Amino acid sequence: MADLKQTRILVTRPAHQAENLCALIHAHNGIPIRLPTLEIIPIILSVDEIEQHLTSAIFVIFTSVNAVRCYCSQLDDARMRDLKTKSCFAIGQATAQALKAVGLNVDLMPQHGYNSEALLDLPELQRVSQKNIVIIRGENGRETLANILEKRGAKVSYQNVYRREIPEIDCAEVSQLITKKQLNLITITSGEAIQNLVKMLPESQQNLLKKIPLVVVGERIQTIAKNLGFERISLAQMPSDDAILNTITTIINGEEKWLN
């Protein structure tokens, strides 16, 4: 079993999504430090809003686990039955698992990759002229998926089902660890998470913060971290907790000699 050697690892996932990764770190002799840098706030939909999008849709695309959770929790039995008659697409494995957990079939998901670009590469989304597609997502999400589908002739609408906010949380423990150079590694699972982390910590700690190794789960997040000035960035092969753990283990075992 991998030994994380009592390494202190910052977990920035939203509070309701952090426990599994924290448990994995703890089980492998690491020390998880919880600091959610995103709070997911559900957007309450009216019956008319749900009907407006769901009735006409042929394809329903879910862009995240939170999109599944915040949308499906608002559907009554009749609308869940209606949703089951649609073709449901997931942007990645975790989203597909969330759909299956609420009793929905996953008609399409990328086998390789876990972002809009990977979904758009699938043959089923090449020929979408005049098809009604609804994208279930968080507020102010990326526009890439809709823009390209519309260029291919689809009729696309959004159902925004949550918004992201910076949590009101005490950062004193993390600040102290950074000052003492006792925070060894940071895990980041979204672009907003890394941007918010920088905002949440004092300006006086930014130089130290940006020298701490990061494990990120996508090339887009990697680019954001580089642009923010982070110096040591490692890319996990997938956004799953197991893949994040494997990357952490690789760093700690010295295959990427970044830890002080």
Same domain, 92 and 17: no
CB-side neighbour CA atoms (13 Å) of 83: 28
Band the pLDDT of 15: cuts 50, 70, 90: very high
Domain boundary among 144, 164, 184: 164
Q: What is the pLDDT of residue 260?
A: 43
DSSP 153-202: T-EEEEEEEEEEE------HHHHHHHHTT---EEEE-SHHHHHHHHHHS-
What CATH number should be reported for the domain holding residue 139? 3.40.50.10090
Domain that holds residue 83: 41-164
pLDDT tens digits for 23-49?
999 999 999 999 999 999 999 999 999
Question: What secondary structure letter does DSSP report for 99?
Answer: H
Position 259 in a domain: no
β-strand partners of 216: 188, 235
- Which phi and psi angles does 205 have, rounded to 5°? -105, 0
Same domain, 156 and 189: no
pTM for this structure? 0.88
Position 175 in a domain: yes
Cβ neighbours around 237 below 10 Å, total: 11
Nearest residue to 32 (alpha-carbon basis) of 177, 216, 166, 133? 177
Q: What is the pLDDT of residue 21?
A: 97
Position 260 in a domain: no
Q: What percent of the chain has pLDDT over 70?
A: 97
- Is residue 238's pLDDT more than 90? no
- Is residue 257's pLDDT more than 80? no
- The dihedral through the CA atoms of 18, 24, 27, 31 has a sign that is negative
pLDDT tens digits for 221-232?
999 999 999 999
Task: Please tell me the total count of domains within the chain.
Answer: 2
